[in-house]
Amino acid sequence: MDAADGFQKRYSNIDELAADAKPLLTAQAHGYYSSGSDNEWTLRENSEALSRYRLLPRMCIDVSVVDTSTVLLGQKLSAPILFAPMAQQRLCHPLGELAMARAAAAAGLPYILSTMATSSIQEVAEAVQLPDHSSGSSSSSSSSQGAAPSRLPPASAAAGTDPCLWFQVYVMKRRDVTEWMVRQVHRLGFKALVVTVDAPRLGHREVDDRNKFSLPPHLSLKNLEALTKAAGGTADVQSSGSKFGKHFSDLFDQAVCWDTIAWLKSISPLPLLIKGVLAPDDARRAVELGVDGIILSNHGGRQLNYAPAAVDMLPACAAAVQGRVPLLVDGGISRGTDVLKCLALGASAVLVGRPLLWALTLGGQKGVEEAVGMLKAELELSMALLGTCRVSQLNSSFIIPPPPRPSQPQLRLQSRPRRAVVRVCAKSDPEGNAPPPPPAAAADTQQTPNRPQLPPNPISNPAGVVAYGGRLPPARRLIVSGLTATAVALGGNFLGVTSTLLALDGGKLAASTNLDVLVPVNGSRRCLDTGNGFTFLYPAKWLADQTLYRRYAERIEREAALDPPSLRRERARRQGVPEPAAAFGPAGSTGEENISVVVAPIRPGFSLQKMGAPEEAAARFLRETVAPEGSGRTAQLLGAGSRRDASGELYYQQEFTVKSERFSRRNLSVLAARNGLLYTLNCQSSTERWASNEAAFRKAAASFAILNSGAATADFPDAL
């Protein structure tokens, strides 16, 4: 394969490169670069997940000058894009890592050199002319660290930037060799370390096994020659599948843990980023250990199959990190709009991988420069069309989150413009009054082109559909219905058969599929509100008060009205406390027994931790909110604690009694904060009735969770 100088044809985007690069590669090389693990679900999901996020542009913005540059770890970048660490780049071009690093320098972007490179640390440093910071000459380095080929001309960085090399670390069983590499890159002027933590072993890469992938004899893993000359190749490895995979497992440490991060910090002053994190609690732990950045990654879909796309975990990890360190993300990024989406969701920069390998295959260094140029041009144009001039202006307000998956209940329908609201989670009166009887709807059931026919169903179904039409307040315009069609599809819960079957596994299937929204399981139903972003279980026989729906519709009518609102009424409305977004209680109760959720705005930067420890936060809540001085109420804290859910979201729980001359109540509350909103679940009853409700209340508290689907600002309650 000749070292081409630039593309031989014109491409419209870098997605087009893959097809033309494939014939130029051996089957082994192409399989190694392009494949994922197992059935490659995660590999496909990386691109599909990005496509599900939509961009919301802003108009009438001066975008005559758009600046794509940014600063990352003190380094000026021409765009928020990095070259991802990729092994064995000389499989696709004779100059491999040397040409790739020089292209990155020319573009003013960081290049991350892999431990598994086919060019040595020394060669890559010399290719971009990084200074040697040692007191002596470079001759003291390993004999394998050869000089860069003479045919490679001196590198020139983009205007206003310096060549920026980072080094990706796989921790070897021989820690002394890893330490030698880390000290070597520091001496040669590299700017940062990236430790990969998602590969204690290589994933099951079926294509590599079928191809019995092995490094060609003329190539060597140069950095591994520090172990032995033979360690640089795979010819002598005995394996019935991928020789490279077996070689990797033999050499690298499968016992990497959080202590390893501290060890790497202790042996190098370079900034340390951790790559391969997806869970918010891992991100939080990494920050606590002092890492300087986090790269959210599933290893290009090559490790754990069915791991989520990194972009889907970005909002949760951003909330966990809270801006303390930069977040980077990779996986499926090939368009300027992909970069925009990641930045708006909380990333500081993105990593691009496979498309650059295809560019290197087709056009060498110049081909990579052209590919990066296309991506940067797309980013600049997309920023202008979005209505942003600088990277720092991007935030989640430019993002429309993915709609619910087909397997989830559809929570909103629009039967008439601006008039129909459908929620699986019904609303309740803040006073706790019992739900009103279902209004007669016979006069309003005639079919029209714009209004779907809603099948009748008792209001006792808390998963009811509420559709508003016409002008309020005539009650006949309120149509209350249930999810009858869905119930029929489930067998109508005939004689309780569906509920019984779903309860056989303890309700796990029902919870994972949200079927407990539709039918009771183990005595509970699920409230699921993806608009505000929360869910919890409540007693199946309890009812949802529809009064809040009516108030919500009145607000819509008020906002649409041509007559200006009364200033007195508007001032009183704004001074009111937020209404519950959901509330349930037993039929005929006075409202003293209920489970409710309030969603209220909070100041920017608020977190539960800023309230102190759970006990401290609970005491402050009782003192300042529940029973402030002069209120005539007294409160006693019975217990406080915290928990985290599977996504790492933090919840504070508190149990207390409140007494006055008129009542004596006991409460169990759970608090969570996300996206500028404070979520409060409150379970309440009289002290005399507490024993009867305690089990249901504790079940509700344990099930309360904040969903990723929640909006940045909720559309309910009225105070928002």
Which positions are catalytic? Answer: 299
Name the helix (H) or strand (E) containing 630: none
**What are the percentages of helix, strand and coil residues in the chain, rounded to 5?**
35, 20, 45
C-alpha span between 362 and 551 (Å, rounded): 63
**Angle, CA of 682, 686 and 690, to the nearest 5°:** 80
**Which of 316, 353, 274, 365 has its CA nearest to residue 14?**
353
Cβ atoms of residues 250 and 234 within 8 Å: no
Distance CA 188, CA 134 (A): 8
Phi, psi of 717 (to 5 degrees): -90, -175
Task: Give the Cβ contact number of residue 597 at 10 Å.
Answer: 26
Distance from the first to the final alpha carbon of the chain: 63
Asked if 436 contacts 546 with a C-beta cutoff of 8 angstroms, the reply is yes
31 sits in which H/E element: helix 27-34
Tokens standing for residue 671: 């608090």
Cis peptide before 717 (omega within 30 of 0): yes
List phi, psi (to 5°) of 106.
Answer: -65, -30
Both tokens of 562, joined, read 């041509």
DSSP letter at 583 equals E
For 473, the token pair is: 């307040």
CA dihedral over 419, 422, 425, 428, signed as positive or negative: positive
CB 178 within 8 A of CB 122: no
Q: Quick one: which of 489, 524, 510, 517 has its CA closest to 423?
A: 517
Which residues are within 8 A (CB) of 60 and not within 5 positions of it... i.e. 6 or more apart? none
508's tokens: 């796990």
Closest by alpha carbon to 117, among 139, 146, 140, 137? 146
Residues 6+ apart with CB under 8 A from 2: none
Q: What is the 3-state secondary structure (H, E, C) of 401-468?
A: CCCCCCCCCCCCCCCCCCCEECCCCCCCCCCCCCCCCCCCCHHHCCCECCECCCCECCCCCCCCEEEE
**In sequence order, what DSSP letters do the residues of 52-106 get, joined into one string?**
H-EE----S---SS-B--EEETTEEESSSEEEPP-S-GGGT-TTHHHHHHHHHHH
- Cα separation, 58 vs 52, whole angstroms: 20
